[in-house]
Structure 1
Amino acid sequence: MKHSITMLEKTALAICIFIALIAAAQPELMTEHIQPVVQDILSFLGSGFFLFVNFLLFAVIILSFSPLGGRKIGGEHAKIEYSNFGWFAMLFAAGMGSGLVFWGVAEPALHFMNPPLKQSLYPDRLASSLALTLVNWGAHAWALYAVFGLVLGGLTQYSGNSGDICAPVMSAFGNKLSLRKKRGVVFTIKLIAVFAVFFGVVGTIANSTLLISKGVEIELGITSPLLIGTVIVSVLFVTYTLSAKLGLRRGVQSLSIFNVLLAFSLLIWLLFIVPVAPIMKIALDGTGYYLQLLATGTWQFDSQLNTSTWATHWTYNYYFWWLAWGPFVGVFLANISQGRKVWQFILAVVGIPTCVTIIWFSVFSGAAIEWDKLNQAGILSAIKHDYTQGLFVFFSQLGWQGTILIWSSLLLLLVFVATSADSAILVIRQLVQNQFKNESTLYVWCLALFMCSFALLLQQDEPLNRSIAILGALPFLAVFILQLAGFLKEFVRDLCA
């Protein structure tokens, strides 16, 4: 039985495809107009939003130890649907797995060569490079995801259905809106959320394609980035379309479990090849600096930096990227976390991924920088010239094992991106469709994602990819604030009942 496409889905699809066509036909509009505007907004909102996320991080930590930590996602009668490993694999793969592969070597190395943190406060350059990377990728980012999951988790008797992105906003407004205005608000919220999810994933696909293209180019000697990139985006398109078609359990969960197993195998294999002592040192020293930054430095972040504008292009840019992924990851987490207690949810979404992030960056960056120092391997020089080369130049020093690691990391990155894209497609369709699902639009959304990613691929511009990725996050910030207000209102009402 076929069902008609909703007006919301028609509108969202039309705008996304229109933007993709404009981007392909007039790319200078993005580089000359959109990118500068995004950076100006970031420089204005960035520090305030960064402090806001600081408060959210400490709030979720306190919440996990409070009496509310015993409540269940989805309500007291919700049942657990997925195994612990399958659940963790899905949340980690959907969250930021592809970014860890992309920046695992490059980001700490860039900060090591040109330290953004004041050396009078953080004299160990290697430890400070890891600490600053963890500020961008660690507990703050995962806490933001956790907040989205909690807000949409149906924790109180007055919440809407778990995963209902509009219910907290409606609670914030109360009875102040007429039925017609409520429908308009719901339409607007879902449209903004779709844009945030869609363009957040588009930027990730385009960014990851740059790295995969560089690896294939280095390994096979092919000097046509556009040709390689086209093949990669096409393979991704087929992979995430098939996975989304198979659904959450057979598609998304299966790919996520495969990827997590591959990621840990890659990590363990590397530990058997490289010296472990330098990795342990950067892990311990970097974590110490990171905890120092969490306790004091991130509350006065500009004063910790050599140049305060650095944060606009790195930390604040990242945080709005996480915000762009918030509606997608929040709905996704609420859907897969049914029956989990709040303290378990926070531990799994914030604590464990942060520890994995520390280990991942310590191993990859620590091993690469130490190898370069001992062997004069040119890894840091390659990263300084083009940071997409760093991982592959490092692995190429490791002989036949390095070749296996290169192709394994390329497969890992490709599947990580696919698991993010297929999860995003499922969430977008949940947002824009009514209870009668129109299966044909799954392929249309997958194709729209492909078109936009390909339009960005033509530019070969990583900073532009990041700007596009956070394009939808900027208007969603207002929605997020309203969601938090409604969530707090629900809790106060529930506790007083």
Structure 2
Amino acid sequence: MKKTTSIFWISIGISLLFVTWGVAAPDHLMTVMTSAESFLLDRFGWFYQFSATFFLIFALCLAFSRFGNIKLGQPDDKPEFSTPTWFAMLFSAGMGIGLLFYGVSEPISHYASPPYGTSQSIESAKISLEHTYLHWGFHAWAIYAVVALALAYYKFRKNMPGLMSATLYPLIGNKAKGPIGHAVDIIAVFATVFGVAASLGLGASQINSGFHYLFGMPISFNIQLVIIAFTTILFIISAGTGVSKGIKYLSNTNMALAVILFVSFLFLGPTQYLLELFSTTFGSYLQNLPSMGLRFTPFDQESNQWIKDWTIFYWAWWISWTPFVGTFIARVSKGRTVREFIMAVLIVPTVVCSLWFAVFGGTGIYFDFVEGANVAAQSIETSLFFVYNHMPLGGMLSAVSVVLILTFFVTSADSATFVLGMQTTNGSLNPPFFVTLSWGVVLAAIASVLLASGGLAGMQAAIIVSALPLGIVLLFMSYALIKSFRQERSLSNQKVQQHKKSA
């Protein structure tokens, strides 16, 4: 196998052109990206909304269908990682930085500016958590599950390259190895790059906010640039050690620190209030899931804009992350059945993410609504640390949070460089260090360019633009997967019949 491919060099070349554009004309880059974002949201917002709901229904149908006992691997394959380590890897790669960045800030933002109803009220407090669960719950993990399932099935069951293009082989045959397949893989690479770069930018912003809270360090782009440079060195070192060493140990460290922070928040905060809040809002989320997942307000433009800014942005973000998270989940899920895989990936992360937001976001709402602290007036980057000001051991918890953000940053980035290495070396499970190093530098450069040109708005624009073509690819992937499952079941039934006749 060649150490590099044409896809690698084409993708790196386009990435460098984008970085050069951002450095030479950041305002122009921002103008073009936001114009494209506005166009896509206005004309294709429905596509993101319908697609997310489709993937959830599709995943559930697969799990409970006759295909549920198909193994992601050969009949005698066993899981490579223990279940606790598997879950740790899922969270570290799939949601890491976002859980801390948005843990307090998203529920508080919806509480202050709800999609409907009166702001900073009992009603908006409930609505805020229900919609946060929507954004981080079953829909998000269903998108990941479908892509990871397809990649794992074709890689470990059919011995095909772990590439997005390989999942389309049942539809386009050998064209998956030609220009069409290359185009699909390049689309997947850039969706991954923009999705992950946005998360790295968020992480750098919040680490800077943590240092500001702990040490009085000013919040500035230059400091965030230094943070990105420092963590880039760390995650490239980690990525060079492979999945079974650096990424595995960092994932377990992340999980331990996250549990410590979660338990501290739960028991140092208003425990009874938080548990009751979770119970009532999670029940409402389950009850209203279908209508929330398909909601538009065509007669109320302000509310409709809220849906575009939040819900549709999240669907685009999760779609853009699917090559990365899907490839990574597939890589660590060999030996599990379709039913076991889907139910685990759907249910456990959704419940844990919902608990996380109920505790963190609920604490922020409690201090604002009950205690009178003005949490709702804080910025997205600083709201978490503002809440610490009102909690026992706030300084210690802030320090733990900064360390956790840093380790999530490193784990997400080194997982991404590993996956980008796979995608650009014909699916190699051990991409050369030169390739992962190159992608590490590119990720850091694009995160810096997006921060410099437009901050969070620039990152959102990049995600929305990159997710549309990839979303179309994922729909074709779903059809190809069903076609393969049917063929496999047909062959299996023929073998059973032949066995019965010979007996």
After TM superposition, the score normalised by the length of structure 1 is 0.92
Equivalent residue runs for 1:413-428 within 5 Å:
413-428=405-420
SS of 1:302 mapped into structure 2: coil
User: Residue by residue, what CA displacement relative to the aligned partner does 1:316-343 show, whole Å, maximum 9, x if unpaired?
Assistant: 1111111111111111111110001222
Equivalent residue runs for 1:211-250 within 5 Å:
211-250=206-245
Residue 187 of structure 1 deviates from its aligned partner by 1.5
Matched residue pairs, number? 487
- 1:259 paired with 2:258, answer no
- 1:411 paired with 2:407, answer no
Residue 421 of structure 1 deviates from its aligned partner by 1.1
In the alignment, residue 381 of structure 2 is paired with which amino acid?
T
User: Residue by residue, what CA displacement relative to the aligned partner does 1:453-480 show, whole Å, maximum 9, x if unpaired?
Assistant: 2222324621211222343222222322
Q: Equivalents in 2 of 1:167, 1:461: separation in Å?
A: 35
Q: Equivalents in 2 of 1:61, 1:408: separation in Å?
A: 37
SS of 2:153 mapped into structure 1: coil
Q: Equivalents in 2 of 1:65, 1:477: separation in Å?
A: 24
Q: Equivalents in 1 of 2:280, 2:299: separation in Å?
A: 18
SS of 2:178 mapped into structure 1: helix
Residue 118 of structure 1 deviates from its aligned partner by 4.7
- 1:150 paired with 2:149, answer yes
Q: Equivalents in 2 of 1:59, 1:412: separation in Å?
A: 34
Paired residues of 2:154 and 2:166 also in contact (CA < 8 A):
no
Q: Equivalents in 1 of 2:77, 2:365: separation in Å?
A: 48
Residue from 348, 352, 366 that aligns with 2:348? 352
Equivalent residue runs for 1:53-452 within 5 Å:
53-118=52-117, 124-154=123-153, 159=158, 161=160, 163-174=162-173, 177=175, 182-302=177-297, 307-382=303-378, 386-399=379-392, 401-434=393-426, 437-452=431-446
Q: Equivalents in 2 of 1:460, 1:46: separation in Å?
A: 22
Residue 367 of structure 1 deviates from its aligned partner by 1.2
SS of 1:451 mapped into structure 2: helix
Q: Equivalents in 1 of 2:271, 2:356: separation in Å?
A: 13
In the alignment, residue 433 of structure 1 is paired with which amino acid?
T
Paired residues of 1:279 and 1:366 also in contact (CA < 8 A):
yes
Gaps of 5+ in 1: none
2:481 corresponds to which residue?
A: 487
Change (3 A) 1:49 1:340: same
1:458 corresponds to which residue?
A: 452
Q: Equivalents in 2 of 1:32, 1:52: separation in Å?
A: 27
In the alignment, residue 46 of structure 1 is paired with which amino acid?
G
Residue 275 of structure 1 deviates from its aligned partner by 1.3
Residue 4 of structure 1 deviates from its aligned partner by 5.7
User: Residue by residue, what CA displacement relative to the aligned partner does 1:254-302 show, whole Å, maximum 9, x if unpaired?
Assistant: 1111001100110101222111122122212211221132133323443
Paired residues of 1:74 and 1:339 also in contact (CA < 8 A):
yes
Paired residues of 2:72 and 2:156 also in contact (CA < 8 A):
no
Q: Equivalents in 2 of 1:224, 1:48: separation in Å?
A: 37
Q: Equivalents in 2 of 1:147, 1:117: separation in Å?
A: 32
Percent of residue pairs identical: 30
Paired residues of 2:105 and 2:383 also in contact (CA < 8 A):
yes
Paired residues of 1:137 and 1:357 also in contact (CA < 8 A):
yes
Range with bigger deviation, 415-424 or 476-485: 476-485
Q: Equivalents in 1 of 2:41, 2:397: separation in Å?
A: 37
Q: Equivalents in 2 of 1:84, 1:39: separation in Å?
A: 42
Change (3 A) 1:492 1:323: same
Q: Equivalents in 2 of 1:36, 1:407: separation in Å?
A: 39
1:8 corresponds to which residue?
A: 7
After TM superposition, the score normalised by the length of structure 2 is 0.91
Paired residues of 1:78 and 1:338 also in contact (CA < 8 A):
yes
Q: Equivalents in 1 of 2:345, 2:330: separation in Å?
A: 12
2:498 corresponds to which residue?
A: none
Q: Equivalents in 1 of 2:130, 2:218: separation in Å?
A: 36
Q: Equivalents in 1 of 2:221, 2:264: separation in Å?
A: 32
Paired residues of 1:199 and 1:471 also in contact (CA < 8 A):
no
Q: Equivalents in 2 of 1:158, 1:220: separation in Å?
A: 52
User: Residue by residue, what CA displacement relative to the aligned partner does 1:413-442 show, whole Å, maximum 9, x if unpaired?
Assistant: 121122111111111111111459543232
Paired residues of 1:159 and 1:490 also in contact (CA < 8 A):
no
Change (3 A) 1:296 1:119: farther
Q: Equivalents in 1 of 2:60, 2:192: separation in Å?
A: 26
Range with bigger deviation, 207-216 or 61-70: 61-70
SS of 2:304 mapped into structure 1: coil
Paired residues of 1:279 and 1:362 also in contact (CA < 8 A):
yes
Q: Equivalents in 1 of 2:454, 2:29: separation in Å?
A: 12
Paired residues of 1:74 and 1:162 also in contact (CA < 8 A):
no
Change (3 A) 1:300 1:201: closer
Q: Equivalents in 2 of 1:55, 1:440: separation in Å?
A: 39
- 1:24 paired with 2:19, answer no
Paired residues of 2:117 and 2:123 also in contact (CA < 8 A):
no
